[in-house]
Amino acid sequence: MTLKLGTAVLAYFLLPFAAGAAASDDAGFIFQGFQQSNLSLDGLATVTNNGLLRITNTTISQTGHAFYPNPINFKSTSNSSAFSFSTQFVFAIVPDLSGLTGTGMAFVIAPTRNLTKVPDSQFIGLFDNSTNGNQTNHVFAVELDTYQNQDFGDINDNHVGIDINSVISKVSMPASYKANNKNSFENLTLISGQQMQLWVEYDGMDRRIDVTLAPIAAAKPHTPLLSLRYDLSPILKQTMYVGFSAASSPLEIGTSHFILGWSFKMNGVEQAIDLSQLPKLPRFGHKKVSKFFTVGLPLICITFLLILISGVAYYLRRKWKFAEVLEEWELAYGPHRFKYKDLYIATKGFREQELLGEGGFGRVYKGVLPTNMVEVAVKKVSHRARQGMRAFIAEIVSIGRLRHRNLVPLLGYCRRKGELLLVYEFMSNGSLDRFLFNQPKRTLNWNQRFRVIKGVASALLHLHEEWEQVVIHRDVKASNVLLDGELNGRLGDFGLARLYDHGTLPQTTHVAGSFGYLAPEYSRTGRATTKTDVYAFGAFLLEVACGRRPIDPRAEPEESIILVDWVFLCWKEGDILQAVDQKLGAEYVKEEAELVLKLGLLCYHSEPNLRPSMRQVLLYLEGSVALPDLSSLAMRGSTVGFDVSTDKCFSHSVADYLLSDGR
């Protein structure tokens, strides 16, 4: 469309001219796109494929000129006064890189199309050192200057000026325009890649030159940017050439000068350019795209890489944080094996607020499993050795299958380097000792205590006799008995003492168990039997009935530091009930209390063979069998626990215990 119209219009204006001959007095033409415009081009000037007239491109240090091919009469033969003329053109000065200044361009009327080829950009392709300012030039130009040359008195690097025979402007103004509905001039940036319009009008009668600039979208402003009273008659010869001139920058940062449309009229008003018919400018800022590739893309790559690295680091950190030890043989225990990550989340990262307590084997944390929201207690046991671990895990898992209403269910385990985690069902009321010792906030009444005792006894019986293998608890004591929601006593920590046997705990020479609960033969030989559990159970019975720890350094003087001595003393004095927990007052069943205390002494017998079995203990507790008369049993000397001086091992242990500040 543009092409057709441009050609048609061109043809209309060209037809009257004979080639090479001067045009008539009212010559005029219009180009809306320059296809087949037959302009006279030199240097860098070229018409692009889509019809843009490009005066220069980014090739450095060259000039470009584009002239209307035919000379035009600016005067009649009879009169030396120059005619009026008017022209309008649409241009764009496109910087190579935005923000940089470049060279300018000019609309020019000259006596020759053969202007200087001297590529000195400050002369805009119009002059050179020798011709600049010479009266014989006969050159009129309107410069669109984007370079400030102090030598030529340029006002800035973005101005419009009227030049006569010299690049030193007769008058110039910063590039700006006064929109018709505004009162002041608005600045424009010539070298912005934006399309702009320029009008140059000479009134031959008034001898006035008006130059008007406007952005592409604006209507022609009524107020010109420059208005100079100047008689062009001596400057303009009778026939002149009209066209455009520019010089490219000597630096790599070139600019391209484009003309999109051009209309000229002698002795009249030029035909207005139809802006919609103009060819499109090449995509301005393709250098920006390459900047994207040179700067943006690597930056994006680096950012991406950083994200990737931090992602991998995060992943590895997580992996390390949640790392477990999982060996092939453990696959058989799949359901009993917990993910460390789940336990970590359950216990909120094993934080202090979730700590339930600290036992002989490690810290116990409360948690809620993320998978099924089940409340659990997680025991963290640090271990050292790998040998024995397999047997121990096998036993743990096997014990985990033990189900008894008075045992704390072991749900499973997890293994990490140097760390074993055991997952138990959570017991909402905590351990029994909190209800018995040291001015408890809440205490248990006798019935509750008796029920707990019977429960623990049946749990121990289950471990000793009713399970497929004999399980020795090794650490029966009040603090290992937990109370569930209904205050049922549940024995916890069973089997854990086997860690010592398997050599997985650091203090392998240490005898598992707690002071005051250790049977004398166990202290001597280190061999645990069901009878050593019964001995500890005896201590436990006394604890529950008396509300005291087996060894209490803070005990009143008349009540012996060693609980069993005190109970024994009371029994010998004939009033065993004197030992019953003061906190109960008179609120207890005398027969049951007496039974529990005497059974405690019996179980605590230093001679293992004289201790009852757990089955017998249960029969006594249920009242189906009467307790043997204590005085009939050989208590003298053999009742080591009662007589500290006769058993060096025990007394030694107690001494150690007392020296270690009563913990």
Ligand X SMILES: *[C@@H]1O[C@H](CO)[C@@H](O)[C@H](O)[C@H]1NC(C)=O
Numbered residues of the known binding site = 380
The whole-angstrom separation of Cα 347 and Cα 341 is 10
Q: Which of 4, 16, 25, 38 binds ligand X (CB under 6 A)?
A: 38
Annotated catalytic residue: which of 96, 145, 163, 475? 475
| 42 given a catalytic annotation | no
Tell me the window of 52-60, 382-390, 427-435, 599-607 that interacts with ligand X (CB under 6 A): 52-60
**44 scored as a contact of ligand X (CB under 6 A):** yes
Considering the complex, state which of residue 137 and residue 212 has its C-beta at the smaller distance from ligand X.
137
3-state helix/strand/coil string of 58-110: CCCCCEEEEECCCCEECCCCCCCCCCCEEEEEEEEEEECCCCCCCCCEEEEEE
Strand partners, 375: 368
- Give the residue, chosen from 11, 21, 26, 79, that forms a contact with ligand X under the rule CB under 6 A: 79
- The C-alpha atoms of residue 44 and residue 55 are separated, in whole angstroms, by 6
Report, in Å, the least distance between residue 165 CB and ligand X: 10
Residue 409 interacting with ligand X (CB under 6 A): no
Which residues carry a binding-site annotation for ATP? 380
| 282 lines the binding site for ligand X (CB under 6 A) | no
**CA-based nearest residue to 58, from 294, 290, 292, 296:** 290
Q: Which residue of 22, 42, 69, 237 would you call a contact of ligand X, by CB under 6 A?
A: 69
According to CB under 6 A, which one of 5, 7, 40, 285 is a site residue for ligand X?
40
For the bound state, the minimum distance from the C-beta of residue 301 to ligand X, rounded and expressed in Å, comes to 29
Q: Is 290 in the site for ligand X (CB under 6 A)?
A: no
Number of residues that bind ligand X (CB under 6 A): 22
By beta-carbon proximity to ligand X, the closer residue of 129 and 180 is 129
Residues 117-156 that bind ligand X (CB under 6 A): 120, 129, 134, 136, 156
3-state secondary structure 297-332: HHHHHHHHHHHHHHHHHHHHHHHHHCCCCCCHHHHH
48 touches ligand X (CB under 6 A): no
- 488 is a contact residue toward ligand X (CB under 6 A): no
Main-chain dihedrals φ then ψ at residue 365, nearest 5 degrees = -115, 145
Q: Smallest distance from the beta carbon of 44 to ligand X, in angstroms?
A: 5
Q: H helices of 462-529, where?
A: 498-501, 520-525
Site for ligand X in 154-173 (CB under 6 A): 156
Residue 233 interacts with ligand X (CB under 6 A)? no
E strands present in 469-594:
481-483, 489-491
Contacts of 636-639 spanning 24+ positions with Cβ under 8 A: 638/605, 638/606, 638/607, 638/610, 639/568, 639/601, 639/604, 639/605, 639/606
- Applying CB under 6 A, does 114 fall inside the site for ligand X? yes
Q: How far is the CB of 290 from ligand X (least distance, A)?
A: 13
- Tell me if 438 contacts ligand X by CB under 6 A: no
| Nearest-angstrom CA–CA distance, 353 and 357 | 11
Cβ neighbours for 266, distance < 8 A, ≥ 6 positions apart: 23, 25, 26, 27, 28, 72, 73, 74, 83, 84, 85
Q: Does 18 bind ligand X (CB under 6 A)?
A: no
Gap between the Cα atoms of 530 and 542, Å rounded: 19
Binding interface with ligand X (CB under 6 A)? 14, 19, 38, 40, 44, 46, 57-59, 69, 79, 81, 114, 120, 129, 134, 136, 156, 174, 187, 204-205
Tell me the catalytic residues: 475
